[in-house]
Each structure stands twice: as structure tokens, then as C-alpha cells.
Structure 1
Amino acid sequence: MISSGPMTTPDIASVLAGYGSCVVAASGGVDSLLLAVVAHRALGALAVIAHAVSPAVPAGDTARLHEAARLEGFAVRRVDAGEMRDPRYLENPVDRCYHCKTGLYRRLSALARETGMAVLASGTNLDDLSDYRPGLVAAQDFGVRHPFVEAGMDKAAIRAMARALGLFFAETPASPCLGSRIHTGTPITRERLAAVAFAEDALRERLGLGLVRCRIQGDAARIEVDPAILAPEAGRRGEIAAAVAEIGREFRKRFPGIATIGLDPRGYARGRAFHTNP
């Protein structure tokens, strides 16, 4: 169990300074983006910002990280974590994240040795400790440090700090990897990951929605959006259903292995694709 320690939000820079040097695992979400920015400001060249690029990483996350790098003046080391070559990951078991993170941390540990960095750091925060997260087991295996946890910071504190620093990504919605959209037990394939990315990007662009998830189970895709905009008083259900039907025609042409796509009338629910008994 990771201890949060007695520290408070302003101590994050002190935590990082105490490392001396580090490799930051930056996915492109709010947590790791803030960590990258603060580590670069605190340590300069003694912070190496690393980003894994694969079919499971949303293109928007990569673009967001590179924009932060441009604004802050740090370089991004792109790495291949190798999960698409790991049959254990591709089977999409309950502990899929363990296999993904094991590959990532193995590669980043090698990068830390190559660059002479003392610590491998992740953007894990206090809220993450209450979830089932096999990736944290992989982190423990590789001695990964969690500076936000050590500084006593949860997600709200991270967003508040990003706002206080005037960072452009402070309000960015949560953006887990595309593999999290594939129901447990349905194998991870390049086609399924590409289908998720296409559907979500197309609907965001067409409808201006911040929250869109394309879940795939077997050969069926279901679109989830904020339940509030599906409520009768919002008056948008028909518009959204029509948009899903329209992009569905191109979707089926591009991804013949997925037979159907439709709107989930229940709306978005966190973790719906995860099953302990697939």
C-alpha cells in the first residue's frame, strides 16, 4: 500500500527536487502533464519527459503533450512500450493494465539508466489508490515513485494547481487509454483501437461533446455520452442518435470486423467495459 505521507500541495516541487533527477512517464492526461511541467520547472535538464506512443494512446493526448512541451520548452522522448506485441495484453484479461505498464516501466527504466536519471515518476494521485489498478502493482515492481501521492494531492488538487499556474490543459476531461474501451475478454486489436478513436473523434467534432466513449464488446460498438444530454429536457437525444447513425455508415466500411454501432441509451458510466468475470 502506498502511503500518502503528511505533505500538502505546495510540496510537489520539493518532492521532485528531492529526487535529484527523474524520468516522468507522461501519458498526456492532466495528471502527468502537470507533473511534466512542474518537474521541468523544478529540475530542468534533470527531468526527462517520456511518452509512450502506440495504437492505444489517443492522438489528442500526444498532441496535448507536445503542445505543453512547446510552451514550456522541454523535449519529449517518445518510446514504444511494446504492449501490442505482448499476447498477455492483447488477450485483454482483468489485469490487462499490469501487462501494459510492465512493458512501459521496463522501457522507461532502461531510459533512466541510459540518461543517468535517478527516479522513474508517474502521475498517480491519491484518488487512484482507491481503485482497482493493476498498473500500480507493475509500478511497485519497478520502484516507480508517485510524487503527487507523496505530496498528498488528489485529482481536485491537481486540477486546482494547473488552474493556478494558468496551464491550458487544466480542464481537460479524463482520457484513459483506448484499450479501456474494449470490454474485458474481448481481445485488443489494432482494428478495434482504431475504431474507437475514429468514432470518438468524429462525434466530438460533429457534436462538440467533451465526453464521448466508444465501447466495443465482441463485434458490437456502443456509444456513450453524458447522461445529462440524453435527458428529455436537453432535447439532444435525436440529434445524437442521428449523428451516431451517420458516422456508423463510414464506421462499418472502415472496420468490417465490427458489425454494429449504436447509441447506448443509458449514457456514460465509468468503467462499464471492465468486468471481473468476463
Structure 2
Amino acid sequence: MQHQTERLIHQLSQLLGQIGPLKLACSGGVDSLTLALLAHRSLGDQALICHAVSPAVPTEATARVQGLALRHGWRLQRLDAGEFADPNYLNNPYDRCFHCKSNLYAALERIAAEGGDATLVSGTNRDDLDDYRPGLIAARRFRVRHPYVECGIGKAEVRRIAAHLGQAELAELPASPCLASRVQTGLPIRAEHLGFVHQVERALTEALRPRVVRCRIFNDAISIQLDPESLQRLDAAKEHWRAQVQGLAAPLQLPGPVRFDPYRMGSAFVAEGESAP
């Protein structure tokens, strides 16, 4: 397994060297951060690590990017991609991710124009191709390259690469899609609602240390979703947490009661032509 991981690192490093000067969209997750480590190692200052800061990005992700950038001497560019000024994004249609990524890549392209020719690069991995990801349509339009995909690397391999690079904590980092994914498709995206989602998830994370936690906003309820073990541990304190969440939700006039459910990946997404749950 170690030999295979070393081979993948060599393959990625060669590809990044061939790509040359690049702008890497870095969300703060394991995929983009691991790629940033390799890009900097292969290209030095020719790799510009770009991190968009917005209400949809957890503050922990930004802190993680800044910490690694400082430790490893990356060229880091923080930016506002401008999606919160785009009605197409704020209306939260089924292809919201297309509008989000279109804003992001347009912002990165503007940075690239200021610094000379550079290739836009993302941390998309092979497994991402199995899901409905309208953001990949935006990536094609902006000619974004996906080194993991080009090397046939999936999520498990990315985690092994991170561990091999001495980033054990990064290798174990749970998946955490943007906070806008917690809002049911068709309900408007509002910065204050995403702040509420983040506050609830942080509080539950500190109290329970769950394997997974999501605070989802539906048209008729707020759903706190946890892995089965954490949901069981929460049982005796459900009413306490219900009151806490309702207290935070009340000033925002969020809909419906607070309920506690088993985690279901992507359950706030409503595909085109489907009805809301």
C-alpha cells in the first residue's frame, strides 16, 4: 500500500510540474489541502493557493487553510468570489453549485489575469464524478483541470496521500460540504441562516464529538442529523438541545419544529422535477 501511495504522489507531482503555474481553488477540505501541499512542493511560488471566504465557508476551514499556508510557506490569496451578490445562487435552485463555482472560477480567472498565464486547478477527485455535481459543468466552461481525476485518484487514495505526507489530522478530516448545502433546494440562501447552521453544528460537535452532524433547514422543520451512535447518546438531552436550537432559530423566523434524525447524505437536495420532501 505504501509503494502504491508513493507511486500516486510521484504521478501527481509529475503532472503538477507539467501543468506549471497554477491557481488552486482550496476550500479547506482534505482534497484541496492535500493537493495544495503537493502543488507547493512541486512548483513553489508558481502555485497560488486561492481560498474564497464567504458565509457558506465554515470559519474552521479558513483557519485550516491559513495555518497550513503559514506552516509551509504557501502563496495564499484570500478572496470573495461574489456568490452572495448573485441572485442565481441566492435563489438556491437545483443547480446552485453551478452558479457558486461559476462565480469562484471567474474570480480566480481575474486573479490569474493579473499575475500572467496560469491554469485553474481544483481538488475534485475521481469519486466526485459519480455524484450529480453541476459545479463540474462550470469547471469545464472555465477549463479547470482536476489532477486527481487525471491520475485516477479517489477519496481513499487522497486520505492515504495526506497521511503519507505526515498530515494525519488532515487525513482523518470528515467530509464537510459548504454550509449552503444544508438548506433545502428552493429555499433562499441567507447569510444569517448559514451562520445559524454553523453555530448549531459547532455546539453539537463540542458537546458530543459525533462522527457526523448536519443542521438542515427544510421548508417545514429544522432537522438535526447525527450518526446513529451520537443520536443514541443525545437521547436523554434531546429536549435541552431542542430548546437551544429553537432559541437560536426564533429571531431568524425559521420554519417549523426542531427534530432529530439519522444522518442522510444530501437529504436537503431536491433534484429538478422532484417535489420537496
The alignment status of 1:39 with 2:39, answered yes or no, reads yes
Residues 170-210 of structure 1, C-alpha deviations (whole Å, 9 max, x = no match): 10000110011111111111222111111101111122224
Q: How much does 1:152 deviate? A: 1.5
Amino acid at match of 2:235: G
The alignment status of 1:83 with 2:78, answered yes or no, reads no
Equivalent residue of 1:169, what SS?
helix
Amino acid at match of 1:47: A
- Counterpart selection for 1:262 from 259, 264, 272: 259
Q: How much does 1:260 deviate? A: 3.0
> 2:29 and 2:82 mapped to 1: Cα distance?
20
Residues 19-66 of structure 1, C-alpha deviations (whole Å, 9 max, x = no match): 111000000000000011110111000000000111011111111111
Partner of 2:3 in structure 1?
none
Partner of 1:196 in structure 2?
197
Partner of 2:23 in structure 1?
23
> 2:38 and 2:117 mapped to 1: Cα distance?
16
> 1:186 and 1:111 mapped to 2: Cα distance?
32
> 2:108 and 2:84 mapped to 1: Cα distance?
17
Q: How much does 1:10 deviate? A: 3.0
> 1:212 and 1:100 mapped to 2: Cα distance?
23
Partner of 2:4 in structure 1?
none
Runs of 4+ with >4 A deviation = none
Amino acid at match of 1:273: A
Equivalent residue of 2:51, what SS?
strand
On the 8 A contact 1:207/1:240 being kept in 2, the answer is no
Equivalent residue of 1:153, what SS?
coil
Q: How much does 1:79 deviate? A: 1.0
> 1:125 and 1:258 mapped to 2: Cα distance?
36
Query: 1:58-77 maps to which residues of 2 (within 5 A)?
Result: 58-77=58-77
Partner of 2:151 in structure 1?
151
In structure 2, runs of 5+ residues without a counterpart are 1-6
Query: 1:83-232 maps to which residues of 2 (within 5 A)?
Result: 83-167=83-167, 168-218=169-219, 220-230=221-231
Q: Which moved more, 1:184-193 or 1:11-20?
A: 184-193
Q: Which moved more, 1:27-36 or 1:66-75?
A: 66-75
On the 8 A contact 1:26/1:49 being kept in 2, the answer is yes
> 1:239 and 1:202 mapped to 2: Cα distance?
17
Aligned CA distance change for structure 1 residues 165 and 8 (closer, same or farther; 3 Å): closer
- For the aligned residue pairs, the C-alpha RMSD in angstroms reads 1.7
In structure 1, runs of 5+ residues without a counterpart are 1-6
Q: Which moved more, 1:7-16 or 1:109-118?
A: 7-16
Q: How much does 1:252 deviate? A: 3.0
> 1:166 and 1:177 mapped to 2: Cα distance?
26
Amino acid at match of 2:242: A
On the 8 A contact 1:244/1:263 being kept in 2, the answer is no
Identity over aligned pairs, percent? 47
Q: How much does 1:272 deviate? A: 0.6
Partner of 1:273 in structure 2?
268
- Counterpart selection for 2:233 from 228, 236, 240: 236
Residues 136-188 of structure 1, C-alpha deviations (whole Å, 9 max, x = no match): 00000000000111111100000000011111311000011001111111111
On the 8 A contact 1:219/1:259 being kept in 2, the answer is yes
Equivalent residue of 1:28, what SS?
coil
> 2:67 and 2:223 mapped to 1: Cα distance?
31
Amino acid at match of 2:144: V
Residues 186-235 of structure 1, C-alpha deviations (whole Å, 9 max, x = no match): 111122211111110111112222411001012621100112433xxxx5
Aligned CA distance change for structure 1 residues 245 and 111 (closer, same or farther; 3 Å): same
Equivalent residue of 2:55, what SS?
coil
Amino acid at match of 1:40: H
TM-score, structure 2 as length reference: 0.91
Q: Which moved more, 1:185-194 or 1:102-111?
A: 185-194
On the 8 A contact 1:203/1:243 being kept in 2, the answer is no
Residues 98-134 of structure 1, C-alpha deviations (whole Å, 9 max, x = no match): 0000000000011111112421000000001111100
On the 8 A contact 1:248/1:261 being kept in 2, the answer is yes
Amino acid at match of 2:162: A
On the 8 A contact 2:196/2:249 being kept in 1, the answer is no
Aligned CA distance change for structure 1 residues 163 and 84 (closer, same or farther; 3 Å): same
Amino acid at match of 1:175: S
Amino acid at match of 1:275: V
